[in-house]
Structure 1
């Protein structure tokens, strides 16, 4: 599927955690930015309850929130994406009032005049925060005037999602912009270092670039409509 990135006015990315944007959509963001399209990330939490503290450890439970906040800021700079932090609490998105979250997201989407929203596809996004944020984003768009709704691309990542949803509608090869995606991933040092060390075992002959490319080259989305 050939994608005309330049047709969009503004892309809004909605995920709950710092690093969701880098793993799932950084290459896509870079392609939009190279086409001159503004992109804004609405990030739900600071990921302050995450278990990864760096490898070797350089964070603890008290320092992790500020560290992950700065990592998020740095990652967004790497891919030239604007950032709005929504200040919800990590690992509690499923307990937030979904309509309240949706109303806030809808207001921001409308203020930014988004023509495309990228978010998680509930309930196929594994983590409770992922699914809760996706549900709120879907509700926000469903609540909009049908004539003003943006296009929606959604990440489905559960093991069974293709059996239920079918193959992704959009597959983006990020190889040509992968260095920028890798820079964004590496900005999340507390999260990525341990992962790269783990996958390097048995792949010692690969460069850091080629190792990361093996796992994160393609970004896939299902298109969603609200009739």
Structure 2
């Protein structure tokens, strides 16, 4: 087992699985210490289905507590014992997407006094404290756009970048820092495979919208530093996606999923990363296949 291990900083429950679920399961299965640090409870999430719809922020406002249970189940499927929250569970609140309705009396989620986007230096220091405690060899978070522009994803990126810099001065210099990204050719190929399955007779939920492959995309290949093959833990990622049932629906085939927007997306068999701090140690194909490459050997 490698000391230090892997620290992943995510904004809401389900992000850990959507962006990095296969990588979490990959390293957990190999005995690498894995910590998933979630910044909010995801209180502003849109609820799929009627069973728990009244937990939403504009009704009972109890969704965050329920999502702790979903996160716990998802992490269990991925091989991680329990969730950990920045500042403690519920310390910062989901800020919501721009223009979404907050809880009663507030015009915008981001105006809530505990909104994560308002966390400022307190959140940076809270993350520094976690880094100093865990001394991770690898930290993973979002790219500067937060994957798809959610304000909390962007803020998680910002505080992670700031905390890694500060921790280097005060206690622990993180050896490698990555952004979790999508690779354009991989997404287009997976999208085409999804369309081919549908054309061959695969039946997806009627409300789902299947986009053309060319509509899917991501970063160009030259931006990808590392690729983790998750084929051997693919089912664990699918199980973790199913655990986030208020936020994610997975097809009966376990190859596609959709969020509340009903846009069908493929579940790809590899996860891509861009190295932004530390030593790049590629293999013969010019890419890393271990986030710990160049440190103390492969995480096997």
TM interval, shorter chain, is 0.7 to 0.9
Contact kept? 1:116, 1:151, Cα under 8 Å: yes
Tell me which residue corresponds to 1:58. 52
Tell me which residue corresponds to 1:83. 83
Q: Are 1:208 and 2:208 matched, yes or no? A: no
Following superposition, the deviation at residue 182 of structure 1 comes to 0.7
Q: Are 1:151 and 2:150 matched, yes or no? A: no
Following superposition, the deviation at residue 70 of structure 1 comes to 0.8
Tell me which residue corresponds to 1:219. 271
Following superposition, the deviation at residue 142 of structure 1 comes to 0.8
Q: Are 1:130 and 2:153 matched, yes or no? A: yes
Structure with larger RCO (C-alpha < 8 A, sep 6+): 1
Q: Which runs of 5+ in 1 are unaligned?
A: 1-5, 201-206
Q: Within 5 Å, which residues of 2 pair with 1:1-227?
A: 9-51=4-46, 53-60=47-54, 61=56, 62=60, 63-81=62-80, 82-86=82-86, 87-91=91-95, 92-97=115-120, 99-125=121-147, 126-145=149-168, 148-156=173-181, 162=219, 166-193=222-249, 196=250, 207-211=252-256, 214-225=266-277
Following superposition, the deviation at residue 131 of structure 1 comes to 0.7
Following superposition, the deviation at residue 78 of structure 1 comes to 1.2
Q: How many angstroms apart in 2 are the aligned matches of 1:210 and 1:149?
A: 35
After the TM superposition, list the runs of 4 or more consecutive aligned residues in structure 1 that deviate by more than 6 angstroms.
158-161
In the alignment of these two chains, the number of paired residues is: 208
Change (3 A) 1:21 1:223: same
Tell me which residue corresponds to 1:203. none
Following superposition, the deviation at residue 45 of structure 1 comes to 0.5
Q: How many angstroms apart in 1 are the aligned matches of 2:154 and 2:3?
A: 26
Q: Which runs of 5+ in 2 are unaligned?
A: 96-114, 184-215, 258-264, 279-300
CA RMSD of aligned residues (A): 2.6
Q: How many angstroms apart in 2 are the aligned matches of 1:211 and 1:172?
A: 19
Contact kept? 1:124, 1:157, Cα under 8 Å: no
Q: Secondary structure at the match of 1:154?
A: strand
Structure with the largest fraction of helix: 1
Change (3 A) 1:160 1:178: closer
Q: How many angstroms apart in 2 are the aligned matches of 1:50 and 1:209?
A: 23
Q: How many angstroms apart in 2 are the aligned matches of 1:13 and 1:171?
A: 16
Q: How many angstroms apart in 2 are the aligned matches of 1:178 and 1:168?
A: 21
Following superposition, the deviation at residue 223 of structure 1 comes to 0.6
TM-score, reference length from structure 1? 0.81
Following superposition, the deviation at residue 93 of structure 1 comes to 2.4
